Amino acid sequence: MIRFGYRLGLDGFSCYDIDECLEENINCGAEKMCFNHRGSYSCIDIPCPPDYARDPTTNFCVLECVSTDIPCPPGAKYADIIEFRTVALPGGQPARQDLIRLSAYNQHDQFLPQVRSLG
C-alpha cells in the first residue's frame, strides 16, 4: 500500500517520496520557497535582510546601489544578491560532524572567499 505523497517504485513494492516542489511546480508566492519533505512539502519563509529588496523576477534578495552608504563597484546595479536554496542531506549521519561545506561564487564563476552566511 502506498501512502499519500509517495509513489510506487519500478520494483512494484518500494515507496518513494514525491518531490512536489519539482514535479507539481508548487508556487509558494513571494518571500517563501517550497521545501520537500518525505510524504509532503511545505512553504518556508525566506525573508530578505534589512535594506534588501525582493527581485520580482528571480525572487532573490538584492541590495541595490541606491545610496553612497552602500559600497558598490563602479557601474554596478547591485552591491549584493542573496539566493535561497535547499540542500538535501543524506540520512543516517553520525552526530557531531560537519555535513556540508558551502562555497560562494559570483556570476563569473569566481570563488568568493570573504562571503559570510547570515544567521
By the criterion CB under 5 A, which residues form the site for Ca ion? 17, 36
Q: Which is nearer to Ca ion, 35 or 78 (CB)?
A: 35
The distance of closest approach from Cβ of residue 66 to Ca ion in the complex, given in angstroms and rounded to an integer, is 40
Q: Which is nearer to Ca ion, 36 or 52 (CB)?
A: 36
The distance of closest approach from Cβ of residue 21 to Ca ion in the complex, given in angstroms and rounded to an integer, is 8
Nearby residues of 51 by Cβ (< 8 Å), 6 or more positions away:
63, 70
User: What torsion do the CA atoms of 4, 7, 13, 15 make, to the nearest 10 degrees?
Assistant: -70
Q: State the Cα–Cα distance between residues 95 and 13, nearest whole angstrom.
A: 31
Q: State the Cα–Cα distance between residues 15 and 3, nearest whole angstrom.
A: 8
Q: Which is nearer to Ca ion, 17 or 31 (CB)?
A: 17
The distance of closest approach from Cβ of residue 17 to Ca ion in the complex, given in angstroms and rounded to an integer, is 4
